[in-house]
Structure 1
Amino acid sequence: MRSASFDDDPGGSRRWFARRRRDDALDALASSDCGVVVCDSAGRITSATDVAARLLGEAPSALQGQLLSNWLVGDGILLPTQTGPHWRMLRGPRGKVWSALLVHAGTWNGTEGLGVYLIQPGAPPVVGRSSETARPARRTDPLTGLNDRSAFQDDLASAMAGARASGVALALMFLDLDDFKRINDSLGHAAGDALLRHVADTLCLALGEGRAHVSRIGGDEFTVIVPGIGCAEDAALVAQRVLDAFEPTFRLGRTELQVSTSIGIALYDGGHDDPDRLLRETDMAMYRSKQRGRGTYSFFSPEMGAQAAARVELESGLRGALERDEFVLHYQPKVSLETGRVVGVEALLRWRRPGRGLIPPDRFVPVLESTRLILTVGAWVLRTACADLVSWDRLGLPPLVMAVNLSPRQLAQPFLARMVDDTVREHGLDPGRLELELTESLLLEERTGTTDVLDAFARMGVRVAIDDFGTGHSSLSRLKRLDVDTLKIDRSFVAELPHDREDLAIASAIVAMGRSLQMRVVAEGVETPAQARCLARLGCHEAQGWLVGRPMPAAELVAWLQDRDRPRRDGWDGDTEPMTLMSLETLGTHDLEI
């Protein structure tokens, strides 16, 4: 009988050379920094390299005959007959975590039915886009190739189980892109998709081929799971690495975009087994980053949980508050600095909650804004304020200008101008006696449709005021193009008048600018006669603050107005010629004292 040769069996020759290359590769691994463990068909260790023994915390001879599953994090067994290749997490000495990859199942050094595991430091590397070798059936986001929400949930549950078993914490990070909606709306959905793919690439490059799990869980929201984190400082370093990666601009066609993200971080040390709770904690921390100015990271703290619970309770109370007649309007008067006469009022929303008294506006108005309740409540404020103004006319009170605040969400509504017009017509009100106040930052942003809404107000004859002027980053060229009637000097520039020379210069500049643009100028937060005298000398038209009158309910305002049946000058001298910036050099504060 003729001996078989490779020439007689080409397929056999290929299999022989494949086995030879595989065995050479595995032998090379055995001499590398990674540990190699060989198990029999029952999962018992038959041999191990010195590196593997050190990682597992045993002498090489002591490992023989033991089940590799004894080091497995979580439940289960390790058998070379399992479909592979696949990663599993192993527990090392002193709470360290290693990963084991089944790199070969079959013959090893002439023995059949063995499994060869490669052991290396760290958790299984499932960074970024799914790997066919690591997870053959991964569910991926079709746009970015990252793990999708379902895969993320599996990863998080597995990582939390590993953290509980090993006692080594993990960090979960929640990332939300800043101003993505504006980019998507202004440049189109194709540009938005390109930006999301860029973000995915940036995250994967920033985190490297390590042990972090990156997912896109919806819209512009991404998550990063970092197992085996040492401490909060280590998590902060990872978060800062991500923020730094977004520093370079992203070119999209001929447009350069500066992309930033707000990050929320929660550390998990095994104190519970609820993945949804951990995700909620990162979400709360992310919103704290938004509040801090965006483009930064924040850690979850128990106080955030208490604040979130209080917010939920507050939101629950706000729903239905309008139907229960719990909202009321208070009105704060404004006076002419030239005549001392009351010329207008500002409508201020108050919530009289049963059993709680009046809730401060800064506590509940942001909740109204975030829940869209501001649309119905805002419409009620406008109708009520107009109705009260008309009722005061019937009482024979002097004609006043009614100022009503508008929120960003209201300004973004396409029906706002029609709603204002209908309300004015319904009450038979002169449109020139309604003034709508918007914050400086809101009005001076290049928002789509803002100019159209302001033009519509101008055609109606409704006035527009910029509130808190001086606190934003105003573009004078844009201010000149907008139909604005009034500038309101922010109270922060009034509080230290007349003694603070910097505030004096700022207030003078705002007055001079307003008068040059044919706008009326109102000072907020006027509390002393000295402040009123100073503002009058600077040329400011009107004052609002506790010196004039505190906010009060409608009935109380009527009584207050009826008591002021004659002009008052209340100590200021009526010298209203506007002062130039140069004249400040020669103005001593003693000239402004009473």
Structure 2
Amino acid sequence: MTRAAFALLLHTSSSIRLLVLALIGLAGLGWFVVEAGTSSAREHLRYARDLREIRQVDAELGAAALARRLGLAEDWHGADAHLARMGELLEDLGRVPDFLTGSEMAAVRRQLDHYTALQIDKRTVISALRVLLDAPPQNGGAAEAEADRLLRQLLALQTAREGERLVESYTDGYVASQTRMNRHRVLLVLAALALGAYLLLTALRLRAVSLTVSKAHADLQEHAAALGRAEAELRLYATVFTNASEGMLITDAHSRIIAANPAFSRITGYSPAEVAGRSPALLNSGRQDAGFYRRMWSTLASRGKWQGELWNRRRDGSIYPEWLSITAVPGEGEGADGQPCNYIGIFSDITERKEAEARILHLAHHDPLTNLPNRALLNDRLSQSLLQARRDGRGAAVLLLDLDRFKTINDTLGHERGDSLLLEICARCRRVLRDTDTLARLSGDEFVIVLPDATTADVSADTARRILDAIALPCRLGEHEISITASIGIALFPRDGGDESTLLRNADAAMHRAKEAGRNGFEFYTEDMNTSSLGRLLLEHQLRGAAERGELLLHYQPKVSAADGRLGGFEALLRWQHPELGMVAPGQFIPLAEESGLIVPIGQWVLEETCRQQRAWLDAGFDVPPLAVNLSAHQLAQPDIVATVAAAIECHRLAPGLIELELTETMLMRDVDRTIRTLVRLREMGVRLAIDDFGTGYSSLNYLRQFPVNALKIDRSFVSDIGSDGAEGKIAAAIVGMAHSLGLDAVAEGVESEAQRAFLQMHGCHQLQGFLIARPAPAREIERFLSRRA
């Protein structure tokens, strides 16, 4: 190694060390920025939370004292708890966040001291009021007057206003600290940018040094291998020409063939001897015109090379596609005028590639299962149909078809049978449609039909009816014969949209309206559909985080014994108190939660809140029966559902028998084997299980015997059928009898009349639930209900 190369190496090592040190410094700056922001945010959240809570506790303390004075509270337990919490919060607020400056902290502490003094005064007044109210009644008029005076003195204390001032004092300090922190961050960012620039300059210097060293090394190697490389190249060229898989031709300056390799013979069928001295034009297939070859020779003359795709003819007359590259070899030596002395052509047979491209193109535009056009090809065909309709001044229609309850078939019979059903549906639709119509599959069980010349709505309606009739015919899948229906939404061009996306979107909205109308039908698009869909979308967005914002709450509806009216349990019912819309009906937001997947975290909140409320009632001394919680299908499908239920029960120190889970028939039948395993584990834990809305699903008696449940809940639709004379109650009576034969409790929902109660009691129903017994109510009203029954 030369002395210059050694010096370069030493310089490179030194630069690498500097680069590493700079990277460590940059990482340290980043850590400092992140850590400083995290610490201040954590302290701010703690202090702000305590400020909010102390104001709430102060208000509740005054309310508790007022309630005791007015006789609304029987003891001072509530006031004592608020006084204790007030002391804890004052002590906590004494730890002012250290990101404030000395003067800011002093201002907060001064205000806190003033607030603390007022709280001490409030505590003194409450103590005096307590002594006066708890003392035996003496001199009633004077005592009452003194109590009123103390209460007025308590209410006159400006603790709420001083609490606001304390918040303002802290807020001023916090805003100032954030301003300082942002200023420091800007300085740190500038330092980081300067360090980054230094890193960039160092990297560029390293690259320049590396290139210099590499070039010196390459020069040495090149001088050593020059002679050997020339000899090896000659042998290599001969080997490549002979063994190449591509066909090769060498011609003279007049395009006469002077050499051809074996691959040329294998591809074209001509031997080298047959083509020697002839022009490559003997391979011409005639598919390219004379203009094509003029452009090819013009490019060769100007650039010295040409490549492209063309079609040639083999010796046996068959035509094939090939990729051809031609290079002009200029003459060398004295007398050469720069004109080509040879041409070298290299080509390959691309028949297989062309076939593969055709297959890929087909797959890119067609659904792999049904071979129908996919979304990409649909958009192209729909665009062409709309273009033709505009040009001819006529209409077109887009029909969006979605199979009803197809997921149930997939879940119960398997995806293979589901695919067979899709293929049968496609075949039926093709028989109804014309050759000019387009049938495409968007995804899953969703299809789109384009009618390019639907001049009137009647044409679209007639097509939709014939498709629905064809789909509704029974279909045999293996040993099963099933019937399925579909819902179709129709959007007309140009009335319902002038482009592809608008028509598809409006047809989708109409399809959803058809499903809401009862399925197995079709609907034309109207403008109010998108408005309704937008409302559902906004409501779904607002539902996210509703639990965290405290908007969700539970109401509880009692269940009583049909025989003697004793309380047998409660069902927890979810409610949404929207800040603007008020109380949102469960039928509006629970389906949205199920469709969007929000039902899983919401269901978790309901389970946790139910367990918490059960523990609160037990701690208050109430003898509370089991609380029932509705479990959604999404929750039951979670692999950790058993562990989730066990954790909620254990966290609140409940006996498992105090929690009952209600599941619908349809939910239980989705994956029977897995469901049975899950239910067995829940029962082994001690949790009660009930089948909700029994009679509206499709469970078989064989499976029903295997489900380890405790009760069947009769759907309210069967209870409402019971007339004033007990008529039309046959299904309810049959379910009660079935429950008795299986050793299960029968619970009737929706009991609203004495006639229904008498009928169910006569047939041996175990428990009743409904407005006749009690309406769902919040926890506080339930506590009064429990107190009256104690």
Question: For residues 236-251 of structure 1, what are the structure 2 equivalents within 5 Å?
Answer: 236-248=461-473
Equivalent in the alignment of 2:691: 466
Equivalent in the alignment of 1:534: 759
The answer to whether residue 430 in structure 2 is matched with residue 204 in structure 1 is: yes
Question: For residues 196-235 of structure 1, what are the structure 2 equivalents within 5 Å?
Answer: 196-209=422-435, 211-235=436-460
TM-score by length of 1: 0.66
CA distance in 2, matches of 1:469, 1:136: 49
Q: How far apart are residue 197 of structure 1 and its match?
A: 4.1
Question: For residues 310-459 of structure 1, what are the structure 2 equivalents within 5 Å?
Answer: 310-444=535-669, 447=672, 449-459=674-684
Distance 1:530 1:427, change over 3 A: same
Question: For residues 45-444 of structure 1, what are the structure 2 equivalents within 5 Å?
Answer: 139-184=365-410, 193-209=419-435, 211-248=436-473, 258=483, 260-270=485-495, 272-444=497-669
Aligned residue among 745, 750, 758 for 1:525: 750
CA distance in 2, matches of 1:158, 1:204: 20
Q: How far apart are residue 527 of structure 1 and its match?
A: 2.6
Q: How far apart are residue 258 of structure 1 and its match?
A: 4.7
Q: How far apart are residue 560 of structure 1 and its match?
A: 2.0
- Note the alpha carbon deviations across 1:221-254, whole angstroms, 9 max, x for none: 2211002213333212212222333345555666
- Contact 2:496–2:506 (CA<8 Å) still a contact in 1? no
- Contact 1:444–1:479 (CA<8 Å) still a contact in 2? no
- Note the alpha carbon deviations across 1:549-569, whole angstroms, 9 max, x for none: 21111122112211222xxxx
Distance 1:382 1:177, change over 3 A: same
Q: What SS is found at the alignment partner of 1:552?
A: coil
Higher gyration radius (CA): 2
- Contact 2:412–2:671 (CA<8 Å) still a contact in 1? no
- Give the partner amino acid of 2:785: W
- Contact 1:326–1:351 (CA<8 Å) still a contact in 2? yes
- Contact 2:497–2:503 (CA<8 Å) still a contact in 1? no
- Contact 1:163–1:270 (CA<8 Å) still a contact in 2? no
- Give the partner amino acid of 2:750: G
Q: What SS is found at the alignment partner of 2:505?
A: helix
- Contact 2:408–2:670 (CA<8 Å) still a contact in 1? no
Q: What SS is found at the alignment partner of 1:223?
A: strand
- Note the alpha carbon deviations across 1:29-68, whole angstroms, 9 max, x for none: xxxxxxxxxxxxxxxxxxxxxxxxxxxxxxxxxxxxxxxx
Distance 1:244 1:486, change over 3 A: same
Q: How far apart are residue 303 of structure 1 and its match?
A: 3.0
Aligned residue among 537, 545, 548 for 2:773: 548
- Give the partner amino acid of 2:445: D
Q: What SS is found at the alignment partner of 1:432?
A: helix
Q: How far apart are residue 161 of structure 1 and its match?
A: 3.5
Distance 1:385 1:205, change over 3 A: same
Q: What SS is found at the alignment partner of 2:453?
A: coil
- Note the alpha carbon deviations across 1:508-549, whole angstroms, 9 max, x for none: 222222122111111222233443333222211111122222
- Note the alpha carbon deviations across 1:149-204, whole angstroms, 9 max, x for none: 11211222232344344443221111223444455556665655555444433332
- Contact 2:411–2:670 (CA<8 Å) still a contact in 1? no
Distance 1:183 1:362, change over 3 A: closer
Q: How far apart are residue 362 of structure 1 and its match?
A: 0.5
The structure 1 segments of at least 4 consecutive aligned residues displaced by more than 6 Å after TM superposition are 135-138
- Give the partner amino acid of 1:147: P
CA distance in 2, matches of 1:486, 1:236: 47
- Contact 2:726–2:756 (CA<8 Å) still a contact in 1? no
CA distance in 2, matches of 1:191, 1:444: 17
Q: Give the number of the structure with larger relative contact order, counting CA–CA contacts within 8 Å between residues 6 or more apart.
A: 1
CA distance in 2, matches of 1:444, 1:306: 36
CA distance in 1, matches of 2:431, 2:661: 48
Distance 1:493 1:269, change over 3 A: same
CA distance in 2, matches of 1:189, 1:375: 25
Unaligned runs of 5+ in 2: 1-357
- Contact 1:138–1:147 (CA<8 Å) still a contact in 2? no
CA distance in 2, matches of 1:336, 1:502: 23
Equivalent in the alignment of 1:508: 733
- Contact 1:347–1:403 (CA<8 Å) still a contact in 2? yes
Distance 1:260 1:561, change over 3 A: same
CA distance in 2, matches of 1:194, 1:496: 40
CA distance in 1, matches of 2:694, 2:475: 33
Distance 1:207 1:477, change over 3 A: same
- Note the alpha carbon deviations across 1:302-341, whole angstroms, 9 max, x for none: 3322211110111111112122111011111111222322
Q: What SS is found at the alignment partner of 1:559?
A: helix
- Give the partner amino acid of 2:757: A
Unaligned runs of 5+ in 1: 1-131, 566-594
TM-score by length of 2: 0.51
Q: How far apart are residue 425 of structure 1 and its match?
A: 2.0
- Give the partner amino acid of 1:408: A
The answer to whether residue 708 in structure 2 is matched with residue 483 in structure 1 is: yes
- Note the alpha carbon deviations across 1:240-293, whole angstroms, 9 max, x for none: 222333345555666666554432222223454232221112212223343455
CA distance in 2, matches of 1:306, 1:157: 26
% identical aligned pairs? 43
CA RMSD of the aligned region, Å?
2.8
CA distance in 1, matches of 2:364, 2:668: 47
- Contact 1:494–1:503 (CA<8 Å) still a contact in 2? no
Q: What SS is found at the alignment partner of 1:503?
A: coil
CA distance in 2, matches of 1:297, 1:550: 39
- Contact 1:164–1:270 (CA<8 Å) still a contact in 2? no
- Contact 2:558–2:570 (CA<8 Å) still a contact in 1? yes
Q: What SS is found at the alignment partner of 2:728?
A: helix
